[in-house]
Amino acid sequence: MTYELNVAHLYGDLMNTYGDVGNILALNYYAKQMDVKLNVKIVSLEEDFKAADYDLAFFGGGQDFEQTIVSQDIQTKKAELTEFIESDGPLLAICGGFQLLGHYYIGADGEKLPGIGALDHYTDKQDNHRFIGDIVIKNQETGETYHGFENHQGITFLGKGERPLGNVVSGKGNNGEDGTEGAIYKNVYCSYFHGPILTRNGDIAKHLLVAALKRKYPDADLSQQAALPIPATF
């Protein structure tokens, strides 16, 4: 393989709701076709995350119990994760991972868990209610349509510098009110989609991989990678 990317799977042993680890399988599937070798490493509790060691990161969803543990540990990685994000590191965060990149998440029992505030959103609780079901959104900039499945009690409100991953066509999205779903900030993609998101929406896998390659190999000709056809899964 011509290219190589180091991937941090953040808390991969704890944050894996609905097989979000399948996003790593999907990244591998597209990376191979792009002539890219992925070196994936789980970075979990009490382990160091150094921004300079990674080219791509993935942070899956989790139940409230796992999020309680992760919300404490992730504070020790806050500075390096923020550095990674601010230096245009590509990162995909799903559901519980999305919530913990923001300022806070309020669990179903009312406990307020701190996030790392690297992105400017916050997540409040619903009263004895969850958003569960199929969801379709459309990204206004690319015109791409994304399909997924959402299951979350938290309701997220985007902040400064964040654009939605898409506008809700059907389903609930971030909060059921403002029609937004997920977030994009620099090269960070966030979503409530399980399924996992990349197996059903290969375009997002391509955006992440191409962004990581451009950042690591600024002088390379990546036109083949950028033109990789993505099969329609619907």
Q: Report the binding-site residues for substrate.
A: 130
Q: Is 194 a catalytic residue?
A: yes
Whichever of 64 and 162 has its CB closer to ligand GLN, that residue is 64
Closest contact distance (angstroms) between CB of 144 and ligand GLN is 23
The reply to whether 64 sits near ligand GLN by the rule CB under 6 A is yes
**The only residue of 16, 17, 23, 71 in contact with ligand GLN, by rule CB under 6 A:** 17
**The only residue of 63, 82, 145, 199 in contact with ligand GLN, by rule CB under 6 A:** 63
Q: Is 129 a catalytic residue?
A: no
3-state secondary structure labels for all residues of the chain? CCEEEEEEEECCCCCCHHHCCHHHHHHHHHHHHCCEEEEEEEECCCCCCCHHHCCEEEECCCCHHHHHHHHHHHHHHHHHHHHHHHCCCCEEEECHHHHHHCCEEECCCCCEEECCCCCCCEEECCCCCCEEEEEEEECCCCCCEEEEEEEECCEEECCCCCECCEEEEECCCCCCCCCEECEEECCEEEECCECCHHHHCHHHHHHHHHHHHHHHCCCCCCHHHHCCCCCCCC
**The only residue of 62, 148, 166, 196 in contact with ligand GLN, by rule CB under 6 A:** 62
Q: Which stretch binds ligand GLN (CB under 6 A): 3-11, 25-33, 62-70, 78-86?
A: 62-70
Binding mask 132-171 for ligand GLN (x = CB under 6 A): -------------------xxxx-----------------
- Catalytic residues, by residue number, are 95, 194
